[in-house]
Chain A
């Protein structure tokens, strides 16, 4: 008998296969492009619509908590469709016995993150299950946004485009893992969880030719870049030395045997931009407090389609493969 394994939820190949075989085989658009948000035409407006569930353990970690994550995650998914986030829903599954003060702290954090992101939380749901049937708090948020620039999609990257990364990688996954396992105590590693509304809307409003955006969450930039390369049928090369990594994160990943390119981020965006607008886009991104460390980390090319490679720090070239298996469960 086949059963659900933790690796089915890790954002890698196993999850993609499960979605194809169980969900898409029964419902959904067979011609879907596979972006983080769906878009639907309502009258003359195109809306972006997305949903995300949060099961992070522990609930509170350096740099954030499940509430901030629940708002930022859904907002950032809407932004990848070049949409202005408008409204969110927030549904809670609560375990019997949870302290109400914990829920109040989480809700306060959601209020702050929503205000920062410029969205209103307008509807929701609350369920309580017996002790042991869930772990403390699970949150599902859904969001609707107004698409400002149709056609921005993981399927729209073109050869010659530049790949911008808005900051350091690996912070969120490493911070949560260290907090959960109580490892390397005292290391200054904080989650990057943040809604990137300001950063992305500035780019769109100033007319940069953005072709694709993706927030590199589970599976890290390795998963996100491979998704875009496959959707757009292009090749990509990134320069390892140009990918910013905080020293403490790099050291923690070395010690724990993690590939920092596969570790989750919750406040970063990969932005695929037309080459003539790359400098302008970088300049705008760096004005945002969440984009000060932004870099061009690589380039899109024509062939071979779907292949992502890394120019390593020693000057050789290797494959950048999406992760497989259960790297770090309950990271978001």
Chain B
């Protein structure tokens, strides 16, 4: 496969691993921010290539995982409204809510559809005018433009039976909150390549400026990730801290203007609930007034009024998401919590740190 095989080249990988060993001067903890990084590191066994003392920890970049329990409960509750069809990406299907999951709700008779694109949800709405389709808008800046486009398309089609349960989140504010907490100690960050294609590298400039930490905007193949770690170690050695872009084949320095325009037209900044991190000001978006008829919260306010806060759960996903506990150190890991019987989202999502560790690293 072009643009994939080149970045999985064994000789190149081994050569980079040797360069990392030469660069490493003592311990370093590198946070891979994105869930796709987490999965790639596990799937390719990258940790075994790192010099002694250099460790990778997972950050808050798995969109399914950081979706708060209360937001998932709200979406599940929408499924019991008459005539409502829930539409979601497949990743969310098995995440346990307080009482059930989307998969469980479907078995109880609710209509739950899985799509690859939010535009498919609009198409479903167009094809079934007697139903109301609610799309679960989950994800970071990478998936937000597609949701915005779906809303604009529904508006252009004049649909009145499509809305979005919007729990989208933005990455920079969450990273700022996480780093400000002082709870997690990292030496540098692999910034999410896909998110950066939308928001541009400058969105992460505050990390070196305010926290003195080196960053590397990194792709998702083994060579990409080793290049990112090399950049962090090199910056550490030289006593520098910048936002280095090692994913130049996909990311340019300025933001994607088209996507930014689309996002600004449909969404306004808002606070967001993050699983494990709590409320982070300015780390989410809400649907603008002008598109309020596509906002599930505005269409079905009674669902939110009925919601009760989720009871305490033994799940420790929050600590994993903050990077203060490794999946294998969780007392529930591979015992009470497994992909077949997940207690929390990190064990379910294909980008979850616990799922990655369970599948590839046990």
Q: Give A residues with C-beta under 8 Å from B.
A: 3-7, 12-14, 17, 181, 183, 247, 250-251, 254, 256-257, 312-319, 321, 324-326
Contact = CB atoms under 8 A, between A and B. Distances in A.
Interface string B336-362: 001110000000101000000011111
B360 A318 contact: yes
B211 interface: no
A319 B1 CA distance: 24
A318 B361 contact: yes
B348 to A, nearest CB: 8
Nearest to A307: B362
Contacts of A321: 358-360, 362
Given A3-B104, A7-B103, A315-B13, A324 B360 contact: no
B118 to A, nearest CB: 15
Given A7-B94, A7-B103, A183-B116, A318 B13 contact: no
B129 interface: no
A181 B222 CA distance: 30
B104 A318 contact: no
B350 A257 contact: yes
Contacts of A325: 93-94, 339-340, 348
A247 B1 contact: yes
Nearest to B93: A326
Given A316-B45, A319-B359, 12 more contacts: A12-B340, A256-B116, A314-B44, A314-B49, A316-B44, A318-B45, A321-B359, A324-B338, A324-B339, A325-B93, A325-B94, A326-B93
A312 B44 contact: yes
Contacts of B107: 3-6
B313 interface: no
Pick from B44, B358, B361 the residue with the most CB of A within 10 Å. B44
Contact of A316 (B46, B348, B359, B362): B46
B38 to A, nearest CB: 14
A257 B35 CA distance: 13
B340 A13 contact: yes
Nearest to A12: B340
Given A318-B45, A324-B340, A254 B1 contact: yes
Contacts of B359: 319, 321
Interface in B49-104: 49, 93-94, 103-104
A254 B4 contact: yes
Contacts of B248: none
A254 B40 CA distance: 12
Contacts of B116: 181, 183, 256
Contacts of A3: 104, 107-108
Contacts of B180: none
Interface string B92-130: 011000000001101110000000100000000000000
A13 B339 contact: yes
A156 B358 CA distance: 27
Contacts of B222: 314
B42 interface: yes
Contacts of A13: 338-340
Contacts of A313: 8, 10
Given A257-B350, A318-B42, A6 B103 contact: yes
